[in-house]
Amino acid sequence: MINNTTGNYRWAICCLLFFATTINYLDRQVLGLLKPVLEKEYNWSEQDYSYIVMAFTATYAIGLVVFGRIVDKIGAKTGYTISVTIWSIAAMCHALVNSTLGFGIARASLGIGESGNFPAAVKTVTEWFPKRERALATGIFDSGSNIGACVAPILVPWLLGVYGWQAAFIITGAIGFIWLIAWRLIYHQPEKHEKLSASELAYIRSDYERTDGSDVPAEKIAWTKLFSLRPTWSFIMGKFLTDPIWYFFLFWLPSYFSTTFNLDLKKPGLPLVIVYSAATVGAIGGGLLSSWLMKKGWTVSKARKTALLISAICVVPIIGARFVSDMWVAVGLIGLAVAGNAGWSSNIYTIVSDMLPKSAVSSVIGIGGMAGAIGGVLFPLFIGFTLDMYKKAGNMVAGYNIIFIVCGVSFLIAWLTIHLLTPKMEPVEV
């Protein structure tokens, strides 16, 4: 709960994180929305586009680990500054390139910069919130990813129609610098912030064992030891099998609606707004479901696995998109799948802290995040090959149908894998 007696300036910092994450996903989404226009201008095959997507996900995977170390060494303020500067410049540079290779380089640069968002945001939450509020603060800033995906289908088509595709990259990329000015002016560590009251600072530091705001150092756990634990592999496989589906939803859905239902991407895309809005509903609903089940007396393992299973089942109906000819029915089926994806995401992160000691949680989340991004590199190869094959046959819809089947079953396979690896989901000692 938000504490009103000690002051709430920390929530202003949380708002900054929310807007940063919104911009992060807005910039990430632009290429997918412009794909139908760019593939005609540069004669891209689906395989070409998949390589461009892979360039982003590959550098994003590496950057998740690298930026985690950088932010820990130089702090959230400088770390975020470097991250946002790189990704904003990279986003704007998309407007300057004129080849498939150029777009690949721009996407790779964007992936490097954007990978710093979550390490810096989590670091900030750790500095500015007591442990009992960190989950709420993290949920708020993480919801920016869904909002960014909703804003993009409205803003980008308008910019495309009025100013052209180059302006869409330049204007959305420049928004990051506006945020950066606010960040540099507003953010300081709590102990050095003039607008933070003594009572709120005391509240923020209330669960630390040291007066300077640092925890008692925990014994470091070697990565080799973590890889010998079933909970680590449970999380790795859960992310590897499902994260690529979210990348597909981000980068290929605009093209799907354009190809299948002749959606004009030069106009605000209400179908895409509805689909991505479902992610916000799913993320909140998925988190609330497992918490409600535990309040009803269910064990952590049973509640968490039930929430994950229900989320996985919600993705399955996307397979039925192949049988519909009405766009709004497809929006409903795909929106349900996107909601299930988000509900899954809001629960899978918690299984790490459910089973592993606190000193290992960040390391395992970083490893799993990288595994998910690696899956995001490999899946576009399959997508590009499949869509190119069916495009030559003049039946793109059939290609998307196969991809939807893969999306529909992947979460059930991931759930079964998690269940087999950690049947009781009990805490382990390292």
Instruction: Report how far residue 127's alpha carbon sits from residue 134's, in angstroms, rounded to the nearest whole number.
Output: 10
The pLDDT value recorded for residue 112 is 92
Higher model confidence: residue 395 or residue 31? Answer: 31
The pLDDT value recorded for residue 211 is 43
Token code pair at residue 222: 């070697």
Q: Indicate the pLDDT class of residue 236, thresholds 50, 70 and 90.
A: very high
To the nearest whole percent, how much of the chain has pLDDT over 90? 27
Q: Please give the backbone phi and psi of residue 84, each rounded to the nearest 5 degrees, phi first.
A: -65, -35
Which tens digit of pLDDT belongs to each residue from 93-138?
Answer: 999 988 888 989 999 999 999 988 877 887 787 788 876 566 567 6
Q: Indicate the pLDDT class of residue 5, thresholds 50, 70 and 90.
A: low
Of 404, 426, 403, 423, the C-alpha closest to 415 is 423
Average pLDDT, the chain: 83
Kindly state the average pLDDT of the residues 216-227. 66
Cα 148 to chain centroid, rounded? 10
Own/partner contacts of 67-73, CB < 8 Å, gap of 24 or more, are 67/115, 67/116, 67/119, 67/120, 68/119, 68/362, 68/366, 70/116, 70/119, 71/116, 71/119, 71/120, 71/123, 72/123
H-assigned helices in 393-425: 396-421
The pLDDT value recorded for residue 272 is 81
Residue type, 389: M
Alpha-carbon distances of 67 from 13, 114, 232, 337, 397, rounded to whole Å: 20, 10, 21, 31, 39
Any idea what the Cα angle at residue 76 is, between residues 74 and 82, rounded to 5°?
75
What lies within 8 Å, CB to CB, of 32 at 6+ separation is 250, 251, 252, 253, 254, 255
Which tens digit of pLDDT belongs to each residue from 406-417?
Answer: 999 999 999 999
Fold of 222-430: Growth Hormone; Chain: A; (1.20.1250)
Q: Highest mean pLDDT range out of 74-83, 130-139, 187-196, 289-298? A: 74-83
The pLDDT value recorded for residue 359 is 62
Does position 34 have pLDDT exceeding 50, yes or no? yes
7-204 and 222-430 share one CATH topology?
A: yes
The pLDDT value recorded for residue 205 is 80
Higher model confidence: residue 69 or residue 55? Answer: 55
The pLDDT value recorded for residue 219 is 54
What lies within 8 Å, CB to CB, of 265 at 6+ separation is 33, 34, 36, 37, 157, 160, 254, 258
- Name the CATH superfamily for 7-204: MFS general substrate transporter like domains (1.20.1250.20)
Greatest Cα pair distance in the chain = 69
The pLDDT value recorded for residue 267 is 64
Residue 14 near residue 74, CB atoms below 8 Å: no
Which tens digit of pLDDT belongs to each residue from 287-316?
Answer: 778 778 877 888 888 988 998 999 999 999
Instruction: Report how far residue 202's alpha carbon sits from residue 371's, in angstroms, rounded to the nearest whole number.
Output: 38
The pLDDT value recorded for residue 392 is 73
| All structural domains of the chain with their residue ranges | 7-204, 222-430
Q: Indicate the pLDDT class of residue 213, thresholds 50, 70 and 90.
A: very low
Q: Indicate the pLDDT class of residue 87, thresholds 50, 70 and 90.
A: very high
What pTM was estimated for this model as a whole? 0.71
Cα 109 to chain centroid, rounded? 17
The pLDDT value recorded for residue 249 is 83
Instruction: Report how far residue 33's alpha carbon sits from residue 149's, in angstroms, rounded to the nearest whole number.
Output: 10
Q: Is 218 left (phi over 0), alpha (psi -120 to 50) or beta?
A: beta
